[in-house]
Amino acid sequence: MSERTAVIASRVGLHARPAGIFVAAVGELPLEVTIAMAGEPADDAMDASSILSIMSLGASNGDTVVLRAEGEGAEEALDSLVKILETDLDAE
């Protein structure tokens, strides 16, 4: 299983527009991706393609999250998702 950490850059955290952009990107992948707050057990990770899961995660600006995926292309997919999370999407 591949794993990446990301620091949330959007000023409002993973809410509203940034969450929607992230979920749309996850939905385009042929992989199951999970997300959790750093330090939480992998078993508590949530489905990263679910807007409800992302919103309930409560990740704020500066929080660290952990993304996990398994399968062919997981490394590249996680790298692209980290770039999204580490971009202030509210500023664009």
- pLDDT at res. 64: 98
Annotated catalytic residue, options 9, 14, 15, 65: 15
User: Which tens digit of pLDDT belongs to each residue from 30-83?
Assistant: 999 999 999 999 999 999 999 999 999 999 999 999 999 999 999 999 999 999
Q: Angle at CA 1, nearest 5°, toward 84 and 79? A: 20
Q: Which pLDDT band, with edges at 50, 70 and 90, does 92 fall under?
A: low
Q: Which structural domains are found in the chain, ordered by start?
A: 2-91 (3.30.1340.10)
Residue 15 annotated as catalytic:
yes
User: Which tens digit of pLDDT belongs to each residue from 46-59?
Assistant: 999 999 999 999 99
Whether the Cβ atoms of residue 26 and residue 81 lie closer than 8 Å to each other: yes
**What SS3 class is residue 85?**
helix
The DSSP H or E segment spanning 33 is strand 33-37
